[in-house]
Amino acid sequence: MWKLIQPKNSNLWLWQLSLLLALVLFWHLMTAPGLLPNFMFSNDTQAAFFFGEPFRVAQRVWVWFVTDADIYQHLGVTLAETLMAFAIGAGLGLAGGLWLALAPMASAMAEPYIKAMNAMPRIILAPIFSVWFGLGMGSKVALGVTLVFFIVFFNVYQGVKEVSPVVLANARMLGADARQLLRHVYLPSATSWVFSSLHTSVGLAFVGAVVGEYLGSSQGVGYLILQAEGSFDINTVMAGIVVLTLFALVLDGLVGRVERRLMTWSPKNGETEKL
């Protein structure tokens, strides 16, 4: 009997949906009037004030996308900033990681400076970027690039460093030149590290865009959330968070599809397809 109700690959989505519904139900019960324990808040309305109400959040999302249909411009701006930051940061991180991993002397010279820049809390650069690039999309993209770059850079750098010396020696014995080593040895070795970093970078690109919109903008989902916070409209704030989360999951899913297509040789992907 227990085996029948255990999660399997065939019904995993059902378990995931059930967990989501359970969380939403818990959220509703904890914010519904009269259901929250009195020792937590002095009156029934405070719970909804602090945490919002799931049905009102869903209603706000519906108004944004269907009734008023006024979120598309803001969402388009945030997605454009996110995609540009993601593409530029990932491209620079890939190129920089490959270059320094294959250039030991340059790597040794630049290592302390790269570590220092990575250790710096890069969110504090947002006001500086606003001065440099203005309050338009440029400052948001620049902040997102700094967040994405180092994640991809260090993963690519480590992936290239992890190449087996035996594989390199065998390739050189077979007459592989530098370009062939890069194409057939270094890049395949770093690919899994690259995609691992890209999954993390999607969320960070959104962070850069939204934080930049917080500090100064007249459009974007971050701008809508900031306006709602100013009027203590927690339901709209939660609705904005839900929208950003859903689109971040969509972009992460696209990265996953590209990963499965390019890494068909991976044992993990082969096992997934078999199942």
229-249 pLDDT, tens digit each: 888 888 888 898 888 888 888
Please report how many Cα atoms fall inside a 13 Å half-sphere around the Cα of residue 199, on the Cβ side. Answer: 11
- In contact, 126 and 215? CB cutoff 8 Å: yes
The token pair at 100 is 């320094």
Specify the higher pLDDT residue, 260 or 8. Answer: 260
End-to-end CA distance of the chain: 23
Confidence check: pLDDT of 102 > 70:
yes
Average pLDDT (37-55) is 64
φ/ψ of residue 187, rounded to 5: -65, -45
Least reliable range by pLDDT among 40-44, 112-116, 162-166: 40-44
Nearest CA to 247 among 219, 220, 274, 213?
A: 220
* pLDDT for 84: 92
Q: Which tokens is 48 given?
A: 């909804």
Q: What CA–CA distance (Å, rounded) separates 255 from 244?
A: 17
Which domains, ranges and CATH numbers included, belong to the chain? 26-70 (no CATH), 72-264 (1.10.3720.10)
Q: What are 74-97's pLDDT values in tens digits? A: 888 889 999 999 999 989 988 888
* Helices 267-274 and 234-262, packing angle to 10 deg: 100
Indicate whether 22 pLDDT > 60. yes
154: left (phi over 0), alpha (psi -120 to 50) or beta: alpha
Q: What is the pLDDT of residues 147-175, one digit of tens each?
A: 889 888 888 887 777 776 777 777 777 77
What percent of the chain clears pLDDT 70, i.e. is strictly above it?
Answer: 85
* Separation between Cα atoms, residue 169 and residue 8, nearest integer Å: 43
Q: What's the CA gap between 215 and 237, in Å, rounded?
A: 16
pLDDT digit string (tens) for 202-233?
888 888 888 888 877 778 888 888 888 888 88
